[in-house]
Structure 1
């Protein structure tokens, strides 16, 4: 079996059309660190059925559909970067061996609930019910005991300062002593941000995605990359990009979901159909102009925010993608807190929060629905 320097936690369609695709394309140019062992950590039987197809010798398809330079574009790419697909529930000893002996980078995207603390996290040995940070602690301990070579941990979960947050939680679980000291000196936790709309899965494996893609990684001493790729950017300040994505693209999605839920969320609405309605598009454009862009202008990001809004509106209107509001609505209350309530806090700090009636209404209604 080929040695795999990239160990990936997560089997989502997003990862298939993002990390896995980038590494596959880079491998063809000789610009990737190597191939991927993919790990399914949730224990979800429905997701386990994907594993064999994800690691099939012929790879899996990703369809890229959308507008590129104003023209309709559709193509299919075969992704062949995944050579192993394992599950923590059944293959933990092999996962731990790869983490200890082969991996140079551990990448993750474990969903909104993957980091939530669980009772099993304090167990001395592996438990399937552990959160992702607790499972990672177990893997790093295996590496420490096997000689402790340096390693990069690169979360892609949509959590602000995700590398710093993950490092803090792993150190909390590690306690005091030589192991914690080794984590502090030999494990590089990279902050990164990912951006691509991946609207639907293909069966048994694969996905449909838009042309736009970004993987922004904050520069850090000791950082190594999984691959070189046009969509991978090394940046000095990830915060500027985080704010654009979270408080323009993600905020816009949650605003549309809030309006859809107000209509009782019974229709199988697509983002592209919402954008095709002149009144809905005008309302969203007005929201950006009156309640969002003045905040970015006050923060010194006015020009780049205006450009990002224009790009976002085009991405939302992509006529190819079946991006369902019901999918975006998952964990809606938590998303509203991160995307809209946090934005309102930021705007208050900048002194420009007085005129944001629509966004404040979304937060209030979401909080009332949750009680």
Structure 2
């Protein structure tokens, strides 16, 4: 069976988000088609995960939480992945599939996924080191073979991720190929879409699969001639996805960082989760006070009060999900950078200054 979707990255997030959505849509005949997953790195852990993705029975995604006021604990089998390949081992097969079958590209390649600092100025004789480098090489092979258009939907948590990835790929194409026709084809027929993904995926299952909350959102910016992987209730197509991004970054992610800061102040107790730290009345009171007296007024200054109030209520339910073990040690990674982007970023975006947020910023500096 052909796979019109190629996914770069084996993350537990993609398994419980895009792969699950496509699997559900395939059952309704509302998907573009199945998926080839490509492992872009040489990680041994990811190689083990790869073995469990493309199995006939599917891999499990367990949805646990509160949905419409009722507890949910269900396991779904994801059967959208038909091939699972390694860039280092299966490059020739990947190139053939990319040229002959693929209509849409998905990617989620972690924090350093767009880092091309290890790429040389000239096209490497071997496989490019980075994901953007590999994508550029595959696009060139497709350009030479058939030149048919395709869409790219990045799922990295980077603002304007489609535009950012387009710029990186265009730069590498110019450096490596110096072909004006190839440059023009990328500009005209490779459709990079900005997207925003929102779902807490708290735990990986072995060898493949994940545990996730019921809430999910995939906001995709509308672009002419774009392809979509499927139709799904959690997918929203909008002319402007910035409001979704601001709600997630400055409410959900900001709240995570506030709680991580409290966890650090408490001496980093081992294994403490978001739900558990909110069992402390002072911590919960601090977070609610920040939301009510600083965050919601900041959104109100941007004419988004109602949206912010609704998202705060949803976020608190998500934080107190009795089933998810969302560890603060994971959230606290790169803490100073997150304080800058989420807390300082909110104050700059909203044009407001919150005393409690400012105090946290000062404590980190």
In 1, Cα distance between equivalents of 2:221 and 2:184: 23
State the shift of 1:332 in Å: 2.6
Aligned partner of 1:247 in structure 2 is: 250
Change (3 A) 1:43 1:358: farther
- In structure 2, runs of 5+ residues without a counterpart are none
In 1, Cα distance between equivalents of 2:273 and 2:130: 32
Deviations 1:81-139 (A, max 9, x none): 00111111211222222221111000001111111232225340375562222221111
In 2, Cα distance between equivalents of 1:337 and 1:102: 42
Could you say what secondary structure the match of 2:344 adopts? helix
Change (3 A) 1:225 1:167: same
Aligned residues: CA RMSD: 1.5
State the TM-score, normalizing by the size of structure 2: 0.95
State the shift of 1:363 in Å: 3.0
State the TM-score, normalizing by the size of structure 1: 0.94
In 2, Cα distance between equivalents of 1:246 and 1:127: 38
Runs of 4+ in 1 over 6 A off after TM superposition: none
In 2, Cα distance between equivalents of 1:308 and 1:121: 44
Deviations 1:151-187 (A, max 9, x none): 0010011111111111111111111511111100111
Most deviating of 24-33 and 327-336: 327-336
In 2, Cα distance between equivalents of 1:168 and 1:185: 13
State the shift of 1:357 in Å: 2.6
Aligned partner of 2:232 in structure 1 is: 229
Tell me if structure 2 keeps the 8 A contact 1:120–1:127: no
Most deviating of 241-250 and 326-335: 326-335
Deviations 1:40-79 (A, max 9, x none): 1121111111111111111100111111111111111000
Aligned partner of 1:361 in structure 2 is: 359
Tell me if structure 2 keeps the 8 A contact 1:125–1:138: no
Q: Paired residue for 1:197, among 190, 195, 200?
A: 200
Tell me if structure 1 keeps the 8 A contact 2:195–2:241: yes
Aligned partner of 1:292 in structure 2 is: 295
Most deviating of 257-266 and 69-78: 257-266
Deviations 1:332-369 (A, max 9, x none): 33333322222222133xxx22xx23322333443x4x
Tell me if structure 1 keeps the 8 A contact 2:65–2:73: yes
- In structure 1, runs of 5+ residues without a counterpart are none
Q: Does 2:264 correspond to 1:261?
A: yes
